[in-house]
Amino acid sequence: MSGGPLRGVRVLDLTRLLPGPVATLHLADMGADVIKIEDHGVGDYARTLGDGPDGVSVFYRSVNRNKRGLRLDLKRAPGREVFLRLARAADIVVESFRPGVSRKLGIDYETLRAINPGIVYCAITGYGQTGPLARAAGHDLNYIGLAGVLDQIGVDGGQPAIPNLQIGDLLGGAMTAVMGILAALFDAQRSGQGRLVDVAMSEAVLAHNLFPFFALQSAGGLPQRGADLLSGGDAGYGVYATADGRHMAVAPLEAKFWDVFCEALGRPEWKTRHAARGAAAVALRRELEDLFAGRTQAEWRDFFADVDCCVTPVLAVGEALEHPQFVARAMAVHADGVMQYAPPLKLSGWVFAVDRVAPAPGEHSEELLREVGFTEDEIVTLRQTAII
């Protein structure tokens, strides 16, 4: 990678599936040397979740690129000693065990801090390292349900709708983890002292559930599902079906955009209905539904192409990848036999590249051990005894 801002930073990644691997993916893409450590059993079972070339899923290939692979038995003392030796030369450790597991294995933050005071240790869990649910099992649906997010997702009169974007896993387990890791790393490089970064996916969702939180304090209570300003209460912010069964995202929420919207449609009399509420909003929404049902999505797309009022087509992901905006920003890359997303940010002086495809189990074990001083005889013994 050219100018990767995290070049020279070494990460030991003990995570699997989605949240942790996506967090370390962002670090790896920005130049960090991420070492993916897997056990001798199934390892990261994301490999087999879905189809992909040679039996390795698109999922696994896409979230584990630019990493090196080490297979290590942490349940046996020699494996633990290998990990501790690696940790002495590492900057970051990321794990997603239930609380208490890393201590049982002898690789917890306190143990690592004793041998490497500058280590940044990120523990990603559903509910955090403390509290009554700390050791409880959970999935994304549980985290957004407990945090009051799921309750507000859906249409008026309907039950909560399950989003296809894993909000807790990605907002919490990935992006919040990266935020905490980079903050702690920045401080560690100034002070020489690392930190434990305790990331609870449920808390990350709760802390970003802003508009219901505001309403709870300013409006005296929550709106009904599908009746909030941005979920159905304002006719100028919604999804409207087109003649061909597709949809348009219509969001001229501010008065200046609403005025442009009304003028473009030849409905200047609608300007005074901006920000209508209650029955007036319901009536306006019905008129907008009738209007958008009169043309196909493609016709509306072309109609609004040069009208600056926040109206866009609702695209499927394949269509999004072909949209000129995302093409111009090179958001799709082809690597390892599959299409993958590019990183969701651009930095000056940094040219993103897929330098390494996702590793096979233990693919780089021997080279990694050589780098931290293991002799050839030691490596042979570790291999023969199935430690690596």
Q: Which of 44, 91, 140, 169 is catalytic?
A: 169
3-state secondary structure of 273: helix
The per-residue b/e assignment along 183-203, b for 16 or more CB within 10 angstroms, e otherwise, is ebbeebeeeeebbbbbbbbbb
Is the separation of the CB atoms in 199 and 172 below 8 Å? yes
The token duo for 332 is 């799709």
Amino acid code (one letter) for 66? N
Backbone phi, then psi, for 339, in 5-degree steps? Answer: -85, 140
Q: Which of 51, 139, 308, 355 is catalytic?
A: 139
State whether the Cα torsion 272-275-278-281 is positive or negative.
positive
Is the separation of the CB atoms in 251 and 308 below 8 Å? no
DSSP state letter for 343: P
Is position 169 annotated as part of the catalytic site? yes
Looking only at the bridges linking them, the beta strands covering 196-200 and 67-71 are: unpaired
State whether the Cα torsion 140-145-147-152 is positive or negative.
positive
Helix (H) or strand (E) holding 24: helix 19-29
Is position 139 annotated as part of the catalytic site? yes
Residue holding tokens 């590793």?
359
Residues annotated as part of the active site: 139, 169
